[in-house]
Amino acid sequence: MQLRYSFRLYPSAGQRAALARAFGCARVVFNDALRVREEARAAGLGFVTSAELSKNLTALKKTPERAWLGEVSAVILQQSLRDLDTAYRNFFDGLKGKRPRTGAPRFKSKRASRQSIRFTANAAWRITPGKKLRLPKIGDVPVRWSRTLPSTPSTVTVVKDAAGRYFASFVIETDASQVLPETTPEIGIDLGLGHFAVLSDCRKVDSPRFLRRAEKRLKKAQQELSRKEKGSSNRGKARLKVARAHARVTDARREFHHQLSTRLIRENQAIAVEDLAVKGLARTRLAKSVHDAGWSAFVSMLEYKAARYGRTFVKIGRFEPTSQVCSHCGVKDGPKPLNVRMWTCGACGAVLDRDINAAVNVAKAAGLAASACGAQVRRASVPAQRSETGTHQEQPTASSRWEQIGIPGL
């Protein structure tokens, strides 16, 4: 399988200028190629191939208007054409139903929040003995290596995010050498907003609500940005401040997802989750909380980590009535509003926690072993028999006591 490793870069002022030049050249090549194809389509001509676009690029570099394209590595310009081909391929595959539908390729803007360039092995980039990243026509860029690469990568992508940070992204081919020893527990997970995750073994993971906790700081930064004059340098500084505040929230959420998913994968042999309709929930009044939770990113982490470490990952259908079925007796009790967190099964009388009951049903729907804890919290009160009711039980008389021991009553 392929894994992506990202490391923070700290380029100097001159290297930042060279990277900005490379980002701009890659963007111009992408937009020029897209314009050629769109003009050919409007004129009723055939689809312009990648080979023709590459020839056009070589010719453009010899013209006075595009001579500055020769100031950057030719590899990143060719990779920009490959990115355009990938965008068209994804668009056509979406129309054919081979993948989720995406929009047609669009022109890139120099004000985009994310910019990137890619170097392949042909660019002769490498990691120096001093642990710096040597990029052609850019120089040796310092890298903060937070971990060791498992193998030698063939390509590196340099990314600049909205907060002005630079990253080196490597795609590594890995094998199954990371398989963990087999273990016994199998769990189902019910994702929610009150608790981020409720496990079928009765454990509940609180929702950190990173965005909600940072709202006051984000609001203040956004207000300062709105007061700055458009086009001024102070507005650019304020925009970076807002972007960095959002980046801190994003990084904290990603770190939480990684820690929780790694712990669950290490502790359990099989994990089951429900396929949530996140896009639909994001159009409701709960949209901010749904985006703050980041369920899709968390489930994706569970999926690829399960494949990497030899665990079983199961995703059940979103239409399974996990909140309507009693996990104790299996009787469907019907839908319930969200404010009902505890409910009593009308068939067996078990008082159930809504979230734990759903997590157990997720595990059962995936074919996993049900937790010993189950979803049952306590038994409902059983009515006393008529003979046992009353404040005082009837006391036996003296004659009845004599008859019990064999002496006839008087």
Report, as residue numbers or ranges, the catalytic residues.
Answer: 190, 274, 355
CA 17 from centre of chain: 33
Scanning the structure block, which residue is given the tokens 């009553």?
409
Reading the block at residue 3, the tokens are 């894994």
Q: Which residues contact 340 (CB under 8 A, 6 or more apart)?
A: 354
Contact yes or no for 162/20 (Cβ under 8 A): no
Reading the block at residue 75, the tokens are 């590899």
Reading the block at residue 256, the tokens are 């939480």
Side-by-side strand order, sheet with 186-191: 204-206, 195-199, 186-191, 270-274, 312-316
Q: Measured between alpha carbons, how far is 104 from 41 in angstroms, rounded to an integer?
A: 13
Contact yes or no for 357/188 (Cβ under 8 A): no
Q: Measured between alpha carbons, how far is 117 from 200 in angstroms, rounded to an integer?
A: 45
Q: Which residues contact 104 (CB under 8 A, 6 or more apart)?
A: 91
Q: Residue 172, Cβ neighbours under 10 Å: how many?
A: 15
For 16, 34, 275, 290, the CA distances from 69, given in Å and listed in that order, are 17, 17, 47, 44
Q: Measured between alpha carbons, how far is 89 from 98 in angstroms, rounded to an integer?
A: 11
Give the burial string for 114-134 (b: 16+ CB within 10 Å, else e). Answer: ebbbbbbeebebebeeeebbe
Scanning the structure block, which residue is given the tokens 């359990």?
268
Helix, strand or coil, per DSSP, at residue 233: helix
Helix, strand or coil, per DSSP, at residue 145: coil
Reading the block at residue 178, the tokens are 């990371």
**Long-range CB pairs of 50-56, under 8 A, 24+ apart, other chains included:** 50/81, 50/82, 50/85, 53/81, 53/84, 54/78, 54/81, 56/32
Phi first, then psi, for residue 79 (nearest 5°) are: -65, -30
Q: Measured between alpha carbons, how far is 200 from 189 in angstroms, rounded to an integer?
A: 6
